[in-house]
Amino acid sequence: MCIFGPGTGPMKDDRSSRFRQDNNHFRRTAQPFSSFLITIMMLPRLTILVSWIAIGISPLVCKGLYLGANDENAAAPFALNYVQNGGLTFNIVFQSYNESVTTVTVLAWQAVLQIQPLAGSQGTLVFQSTTTPANSMFGSVPGPLADLTGPSDHFSASDTDTLSFTGTALAPSESRNMLEVTLSASSDARGSFEIMTPVFDPMTPDVGTAWLEVGGSEPQAFENAAPSSVAGYVRLGTIEIGGAVLGDYTGDGLVNGSDYTKWRQDFGSSALPAGSSADGNQNGIVDAADYVVWREHRTVAGQTTANIPEPGTLIPLVVLVMLLPRVKSFRVNVGAVGE
């Protein structure tokens, strides 16, 4: 996206000085991003704009930052797939990608995120919590702030370089992590869920997803432009939640010997919630019926269950193994008596 900006020179230096003078306004004491933007708006932008018009100068600055996740192609909506198995929790790392041909130095960002179930989906998917990711754009101190206090289908977060006010430079094609989010799906969640953000409106920047460049006077929208299923929103990506593969007790998408081992290890234990662990029939306990589920859905090519003992033979086999040392000892003792 191309925007009109102030460029560099004395104006930028004066603005940087103003940033430092107003440092207390940016200290992270649970102050919302809107206060940050209001402070920026107090800069003498009108005077600068009038000066540009008066002298006929309108420098054109083209930037391009995309908001993506989990190292997916930022120029397109991300698509993440997860397998459901009686309740699902997973993390997403949101990232900022510089898709322009010039280096961009970011001073602040804000994200307004919402989950929208798509047609054919069922169950619920919610944001659970947030944390500072590794390789965070502005470091871990003080770290990004979010208004997410419990499970919700929406929240807002923001972060600024409040320590040095020099920002973080992103070279062309470089990305930096912004925020790590934990999501939680209900046990019956299936289908596609959209992660979306409101279309950025410069007139109400405090309720949108945007970023601010060092030396800039206006927050800018991220370049994401894919239409959402909801009017007035932009699609950032989708999360696809599929049903669990029956008999896949290790969650690797395969039904093989590893799942049999898992079933043996958990045999007789409770499954909370039902359907977790090796509870293939979702009755809340790992029992012989779950072995049947595994056996009937074993699909790995070239492997069979012929050499896997049935549940009814497991206990005698274990007892025999445990008795072997005693049988050997008994024979030795009998031989000693007969000598």
Tens-digit pLDDT profile for residues 114-142: 999 999 999 999 999 999 999 899 998 88
Residues 277 and 141 in one domain: no
Domain boundary among 242, 272, 288: 242
Instruction: Tell me how far apart the alpha carbons of residues 13 and 316 are, in angstroms, rounded to a whole number.
Output: 83
- Calculate mean pLDDT across residues 280-302: 79
Instruction: Tell me how far apart the alpha carbons of residues 78 and 94 are, in angstroms, rounded to a whole number.
Output: 10
Query: 26's torsion region: left (phi>0), alpha (psi -120 to 50) or beta?
Result: alpha
Tens-digit pLDDT profile for residues 184-242: 999 889 899 999 999 999 898 888 899 999 998 899 999 999 999 999 999 999 999 98
- Calculate mean pLDDT across residues 332-339: 46
Residues 43 and 171 in one domain: yes
Instruction: Tell me how far apart the alpha carbons of residues 205 and 43 are, in angstroms, rounded to a whole number.
Output: 15
Residues 90 and 165 in one domain: yes
Residues 91 and 165 in one domain: yes
Residues 26 and 125 in one domain: yes
Instruction: Tell me how far apart the alpha carbons of residues 150 and 153 are, in angstroms, rounded to a whole number.
Output: 10
Q: Is residue 132 part of a domain?
A: yes
- Calculate mean pLDDT across residues 285-292: 91
Count of domains for the chain:
2
Query: 284's torsion region: left (phi>0), alpha (psi -120 to 50) or beta?
Result: left
Residues 218 and 276 in one domain: no
Structural domain containing residue 44: 2-242
Residues 266 and 141 in one domain: no
Q: Is residue 330 part of a domain?
A: no
The answer to whether residues 199 and 114 touch, using CB atoms and an 8 Å cutoff, is no
Residues 296 and 177 in one domain: no
Question: Can you give the pLDDT at residue 280?
Answer: 80
Domain boundary among 242, 264, 296: 242
Residues 283 and 146 in one domain: no
The answer to whether residues 95 and 69 touch, using CB atoms and an 8 Å cutoff, is yes
Residues 256 and 301 in one domain: yes
Count of CA atoms in the C-beta half-sphere (13 A) of 37: 21
Residues 232 and 266 in one domain: no
pTM over 0.75: no
Q: Which two tokens stand for residue 241?
A: 């939640």
Q: How many contiguous H segments (helices) and E segments (strands) does the chain have?
A: 7, 15
